[in-house]
Amino acid sequence: MPSPYRALFSAPGTKAFSAAGFLGRMPLSMMGIGVVTMISQLTGRYGLAGALSAAIALSAAAVGPQISRLVDRHGQRRVLRPATLVALAAAAGLLLAAHYGWPDWTLFVCAAGIGSVPSLGAMIRARWAALYRGTPRLHTAYSFESVVDEVCFIFGPIISIGLSTAWFPEAGPLLAACFLAAGVFWLTAQRGTEPEPHPRERHGGGSALRSVGLQVLVATFVATGAIFGAVDVVTVAFADERGHKGAASVVLALYAAGSCVAGVVFGLLRFTGAPERRWLLGVTAMAVSMIPLLLVGNLPLLAVALFVAGLSIAPTMITTMSLIEEHVPRAQLTEGMTWVSTGLAVGVALGSSAAGWVIDAAGARAGYGVPAVSGAVAVAVGFLGYRRLRRPAAGRGGTVEQHSEREVRHLA
């Protein structure tokens, strides 16, 4: 591991909470695609599979920020454990309903309950921020966490799709639920690195979403999430049409691998320019990378195209975390990070649902039009909101890159 990454773990407890966060985030890449695979295996209905994945994402979008707001006020341990128990109970209900062929409405009720799953990525990043706020190490920490996210997306789909196709349809979502339980309860047992809660009277009762800059980020990531949701569903169907459904996990893993490689490199770099410019460039690159998917005709070419497309993901997400710190009060950092995840979740819901219906109507290859259109929308929203990102609210303290630049100027 390069020395900047090794230096992150000099603080006590960092290895333990990072490992717990990795385990608890595996369901992020396993549950949605596992439900798609499970339902398509049991019923052959990609429209229903995409709609259920969308229901999970929409529920998470509605509930996630509220959970994170409670975490900011009361602490991670007091909030995450009961929220996780609700999600686990709902996941068990979904597996039973799918296995025994219960009515569709029961599937959607259980899928909605799974949305109470906490945003573990925001919880871990909040712990890093509490340790390294205002130092260059925070940029490296955010880069490391983006790499961890992508490692989850490399192995998660392989495990989830592989188990559901080779063992039994419910195996992927079942293991995802086990990972969630282990990760959350391990993380919340670590009190020494838990960020200090900020009760209501210390920062008022308003939402972090009042920040105009955060609104731009969330709106853009709704469209970005539609890219991710559509690519997952369409890739499974694309591989299925060619008689290699299990290969979809490998192809999606390469998508995440491209992001992982880019994230590792990005974390080693130091930037002094405006982060909003890098962010807009990243969003544009993500959109352009969707165009080749419309032209591929076989799985090897699709794998190459997705690997290249993944190169723009992690740098964009890392820069987004820096922008959130610039535009959101410190006492609402976890909520602010979760709002971006919420935007992604809404987009995933829209993208996976739209892609499922397009696949049922016109085939898998036509489904890649959904992420292409979503990318164009993301770029449009990003350009329209760019000026708002250039005007951070007073008293936020600036991004880690800006802190680094000021330190360099002071030393000079």
pLDDT (0 to 100) of residue 399: 42
**C-beta of residue 171 within 8 angstroms of C-beta of residue 39:** no
Main-chain phi, psi angles of 207, to 5 degrees:
-90, 150
Compute the average pLDDT of residues 370-398: 78
197 part of a folded domain: no
Residue 243's CATH number: 1.20.1250.20
pLDDT (0 to 100) of residue 168: 87
> What is the average pLDDT score of the chain?
82
Lowest-confidence segment of 6-10, 277-281, 406-410 by average pLDDT: 406-410
Full 3-state SS string of 189-252 = CCCCCCCCCCCHHHHCCCCHHHCHHHHHHHHHHHHHHHHHHHHHHHHHHHHHHCCCHHHHHHHH
Given a cut of 60, whether residue 307 has pLDDT beyond it is: yes
226 part of a folded domain: yes
Compute the average pLDDT of residues 152-162: 80
333/69 Cα distance (integer angstroms)? 9
pLDDT (0 to 100) of residue 410: 32
141/75 Cα distance (integer angstroms)? 21
| C-alpha dihedral sign at 37, 43, 47, 53 | negative
Lowest-confidence segment of 51-55, 101-105, 225-229, 401-405 by average pLDDT: 401-405
407/412 Cα distance (integer angstroms)? 9
Which tops the pLDDT comparison, 105 or 197?
A: 105
pLDDT (0 to 100) of residue 82: 92
Lowest-confidence segment of 12-16, 393-397, 407-411 by average pLDDT: 407-411
Given a cut of 60, whether residue 319 has pLDDT beyond it is: yes
What are the CA-CA distances from residue 392 to residues 184, 206, 275, 276 (Å)?
33, 18, 12, 11
Site of tokens 């838990």:
194
112 part of a folded domain: yes
313/336 Cα distance (integer angstroms)? 19
Full-prediction pTM beyond 0.75? no
Task: With cut-offs at 50, 70 and 90, classify the pLDDT of residue 116.
Answer: confident
Given a cut of 60, whether residue 31 has pLDDT beyond it is: yes
pLDDT (0 to 100) of residue 93: 94
Site of tokens 């419309």:
294
359/260 Cα distance (integer angstroms)? 29
In tens, the pLDDT along 228-272 reads 889 988 888 888 888 887 788 788 888 888 888 888 888 777 777
- DSSP assignment of 305-324 equals HHHHHHTTHHHHHHHHHHHH
199 part of a folded domain: no
371 part of a folded domain: yes
In tens, the pLDDT along 36-59 reads 888 888 887 777 887 888 788 778
**C-beta of residue 53 within 8 angstroms of C-beta of residue 32:** yes
Compute the average pLDDT of residues 149-173: 83
Given a cut of 60, whether residue 394 has pLDDT beyond it is: no
52 part of a folded domain: yes
The DSSP output letter for 328 is: S
In 334-409, the DSSP E strands lie at none
Which residue range is the domain that position 91 belongs to?
3-191+210-411
**C-beta of residue 220 within 8 angstroms of C-beta of residue 343:** yes
Could you report how far apart the first and last alpha carbons of the chain are, in Å?
31
Given a cut of 90, whether residue 318 has pLDDT beyond it is: no
334/206 Cα distance (integer angstroms)? 14
How many domains does the structure of the chain reveal?
A: 1
299 Cα distance to chain centroid: 25
302/38 Cα distance (integer angstroms)? 23
Given a cut of 90, whether residue 290 has pLDDT beyond it is: yes
Task: With cut-offs at 50, 70 and 90, classify the pLDDT of residue 206.
Answer: low
Share of the chain above pLDDT 90, in %: 22
How many beta carbons lie within 10 A of that of residue 199, not counting itself? 10
36/232 Cα distance (integer angstroms)? 9
87 part of a folded domain: yes
120 part of a folded domain: yes
pLDDT (0 to 100) of residue 209: 67
pLDDT (0 to 100) of residue 392: 53
Site of tokens 């909101």:
385
Q: Supply 143's token pair.
A: 């880069």
The angle that helices 212-241 and 46-74 make with each other, rounded to 10 degrees, is 150
**C-beta of residue 357 within 8 angstroms of C-beta of residue 61:** no
**Exposed / middle / buried, residue 295 (Cβ in 10 Å: 0-12, 13-18, 19+):** exposed
256/396 Cα distance (integer angstroms)? 32
Length of the chain: 412
Task: With cut-offs at 50, 70 and 90, classify the pLDDT of residue 403.
Answer: very low
